[in-house]
Structure 1
Amino acid sequence: MAIMIKTAQEIEKMRISGKALRQVHNAIAPHVVPGASTMDLEEIAVKRIAELGAIAAFKGYHGYPSALCTSVNNEVVHGMPNAKRILAEGDILSIDCGVIIDGYYSDAAVTYPIGKVSAETTKLLEVTKASLEKAIEQCQVGGRLGDISAAVQELCEAEGFGVVREFVGHGIGRAMHEDPQVPNFGAAGKGPG
């Protein structure tokens, strides 16, 4: 595993890219409503990315045709926007997007409830958000990568949910996917520090 340590200047460029990505998500959010198609959201994203002078990081990546990944309900990741995929009351939608500014990538997914969702879905959204917050708490000097993974797994499983094992989080910077891989499961105190 070759983890690339970033300089202060590189971190600042990543921050700029991340702030632009936040603006893309902010532009999409008001339109994530029942009756919208996932292609409607793609078009909003493409327009906002262009306005920001950014590049859509996903479009063309290994042949992927879109700026967004739009995964509805049980789809884990990598759902493609489609004009026929209409959001319905009670759905949940994960919107994953990435942008490149000045050669630096940002990549983030946000999951939205569509209208009123069930109590079980609300709990799922609350637990996954809490697991992210718990993982972020583990990102500290002297910590280990496994501390992050274990925090996610322990919280989700304690609340009666499982974790995805087929896909992982990842580092980012001058490439979309950099080391380290960050699984949603693992043992605290293990892995790189």
Structure 2
Amino acid sequence: MIEILNPTELDRAREAGVLVADILQALKSRSTVGTSLLDLDRWAREMIVAAGATSCYVDYAPSFGRGPFGHHVCTSVNDAVLHGLPYDYLLADGDLLSLDLAVSQGGVVADSAVSFVVGDARPPESVEMISATERALAAGIAAAGPGARIGDISHAIGEVLSGAGYAINTEFGGHGLGSSMHQDPHVSNTGRAGRGYTLRPGLLLALEPWVMADTDELVTDADGWTLRSATGCRTAHSEHTIAITDDGAEVLTLPSTTAG
């Protein structure tokens, strides 16, 4: 299913996007050495409830997971890259943490993810990998607009990731949004320009470049959810929700000026 939002729904999507971005920024600021992943999940729940919104993850039970997910935010550490199930782990200096949050507010969903290094350590390979996903995300956004094709976005993302030396896994990628978290069209992190669905004003897309340092193969944890690199290498993940407008693409998951 592909939903095209009307102006009222787009305004709700903007509100949901700012909420997601503000919560992620708050969680990032609290992700210090010694912080538990379970505390991050609890803080996410408190902020979502206080806003009158709903996490898309609590009851999420797709065919590939051992559902329902049962938590409010995905917390992926080091070699974990997607669907990281929060557990009683205390963050250490130098950990590479990815936080992925999808929230429904006013009947519309926004979805975003950030990766960062915890503490004072700055491993160069981790910093560069995070930067590559951020640059790829920016390239994908720049390629989006009315009349463009999904393949244009995928090609732009893939050119940055492969150009930085990373292999690209195509099992999971970006996706459409609307009244639910995962909709068509699928947005692969590599592809051919000029192919696929033609973008229209009112379409919401979650673009999410992610990579693993030295492999494109995933393995699933015993928890049935957390996806890790098959080699144990580090990973990174960046994501924004965008709306296709008459003029181009609007990023909805940017924090408010009061976020901190």
Same fold, judged at TM 0.5 (above): yes
TM-score by length of 1: 0.94
Give the Cα separation in 2 of the matches to 1:166 and 1:92.
Answer: 22
Q: 1:95 aligns with which of 82, 92, 99?
A: 99
Asked if the contact 1:32/1:112 (under 8 Å) is kept, the reply is no
Relative to its length, the structure with more helix (as a share) is: 1
Which residue pairs with 2:163 in the alignment?
Answer: 158
| Alignment size in residue pairs | 191
What's the CA shift for 1:167? Answer: 0.6
Match status 1:42 vs 2:45: no
Query: Which one-letter code corresponds to 1:89 in the other structure?
Result: D
Report matched runs for 1:1-193 at 5 Å. Answer: 2-62=1-61, 63-83=68-88, 85-115=89-119, 116-193=121-198
Which residue pairs with 2:213 in the alignment?
Answer: none
Matched position secondary structure for 1:76: strand
Relative to its length, the structure with more strand (as a share) is: 2
Query: Which one-letter code corresponds to 1:96 in the other structure?
Result: D
Give the Cα separation in 2 of the matches to 1:119 and 1:26.
Answer: 23
What's the CA shift for 1:141? Answer: 2.1
Q: Which runs of 5+ in 1 are unaligned?
A: none
Give the Cα separation in 1 of the matches to 2:197 and 2:175.
Answer: 14
| Superposed structure 1 runs of 4+ greater than 3 Å apart | none
Asked if the contact 1:38/1:70 (under 8 Å) is kept, the reply is yes
CA RMSD across the alignment: 1.2
Give the Cα separation in 1 of the matches to 2:94 and 2:122.
Answer: 4
Q: Which runs of 5+ in 2 are unaligned?
A: 62-67, 199-260
**1:88-116 CA deviation, whole Å, 9 max, x = no partner?**
11211111111111211111111121122
Asked if the contact 1:149/1:183 (under 8 Å) is kept, the reply is yes
Give the Cα separation in 1 of the matches to 2:51 and 2:30.
Answer: 19
TM-score by length of 2: 0.71
Structure with greater contact order relative to length (CA < 8 Å, sep ≥ 6): 2
Give the Cα separation in 2 of the matches to 1:164 and 1:89.
Answer: 28
**1:118-137 CA deviation, whole Å, 9 max, x = no partner?**
11111111111000000000
